[in-house]
């Protein structure tokens, strides 16, 4: 199921504060949550109108997101970058170096609010998988990650993890519409939740590695299936 048109769901920001900064933050969150479709084109004029601003702040925000790698500029607007198999392999190679270590560092530092947030995020993921709701599953994953990331003491590590996680937006949109992938993701979250509950750094590191491996495999499977469908249609 494709996400709804992002421009139609935007509400005016009003006037206070740095408009470009606020547009950037809001669009980045929408991108991370998979609320911008893979083939949806973002035009600075439409974005400005939707947020109730002039064109300049909207354009600055879109160009910044492009420079950061979250969007790609075309002659007809800005789009979510598409990733091929090698791009995804490289992305997950970097994530595998960062996220297991970050999660392990948080394992012994989880406080009561973080544990409650993990419980809430896991419950949300279970409801999403039961309802086969891709958008809710993406949101639950974001909530779960935010819960344990709040206990990572190294801010540079936090920023690095978030940067590459956000770049996985293409993977999430491509895979989490599949109920089978949703169930796999849920199993991974349940294993991580149990490891966090025990405060077991090694188990957390191991479960995070397994979670990333499963996510990468899901992408490659979805990619292969899409190519097979294209070949059947075109007869090549």
Contacts of 179 (CB under 8 A, 6+ apart): 129, 132
Instruction: Render pLDDT for 15-38 as a digit per residue (tens, 0 to 9).
Output: 545 889 999 999 988 888 778 877
Tell me the C-alpha distance between 83 and 80, whole Å: 9
What percent of the chain is predicted at pLDDT more than 70?
88
Strand partners, 72: 79
Pull the structure tokens for residue 87.
Answer: 């791009």
**In this structure, are residues 76 and 42 in contact, taking their beta carbons and an 8 Å threshold?**
no
* Strand (E) or helix (H) holding 56: helix 55-67
**Band of the pLDDT at 80, cuts 50, 70, 90?**
confident
Q: Using alpha carbons only, how large is the chain's radius of gyration in Å? A: 19
Q: How far is CA 81 from the centre of its chain?
A: 13
**49 — pLDDT class (breaks 50, 70, 90):** very high
Q: Check pLDDT > 90 for residue 147.
A: yes
CA distance 207 to 191: 6
CA distance 93 to 104: 18
The DSSP 8-state label assigned to residue 191 in this structure reads: H
């Amino acid at each position: 199921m494709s996400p709804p048109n992002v421009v139609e769901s935007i509400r005016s920001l009003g006037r206070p504060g740095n408009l470009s900064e606020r547009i950037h933050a809001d669009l980045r969150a929408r991108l991370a949550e998979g609320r911008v479709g893979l083939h949806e084109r973002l035009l600075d004029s439409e974005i400005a109108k939707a947020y109730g601003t002039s064109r300049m702040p909207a354009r600055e925000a879109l160009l910044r997101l492009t420079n950061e790698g979250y969007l790609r500029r075309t002659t007809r607007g800005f789009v979510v970058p598409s990733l091929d198999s090698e791009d995804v392999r490289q992305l997950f190679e970097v994530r595998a170096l960062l996220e297991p270590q970050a999660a392990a560092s948080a394992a012994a530092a989880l406080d009561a609010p973080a544990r409650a947030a993990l419980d809430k995020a896991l419950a949300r993921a279970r409801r999403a998988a039961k309802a086969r709701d891709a958008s809710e599953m993406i949101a639950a994953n974001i909530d779960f990650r935010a819960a344990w990331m709040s206990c990572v003491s190294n801010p540079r590590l936090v920023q690095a993890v978030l940067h590459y996680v956000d770049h996985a937006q293409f993977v999430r949109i491509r895979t989490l519409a599949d109920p089978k992938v949703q169930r796999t993701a849920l199993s991974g979250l349940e294993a991580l939740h149990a490891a966090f509950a025990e405060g077991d750094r090694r188990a957390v590191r191991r479960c995070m590695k397994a979670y990333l491996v499963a996510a990468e495999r899901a992408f490659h499977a979805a990619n292969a299936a899409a190519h097979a469908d294209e070949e059947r249609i075109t007869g090549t």
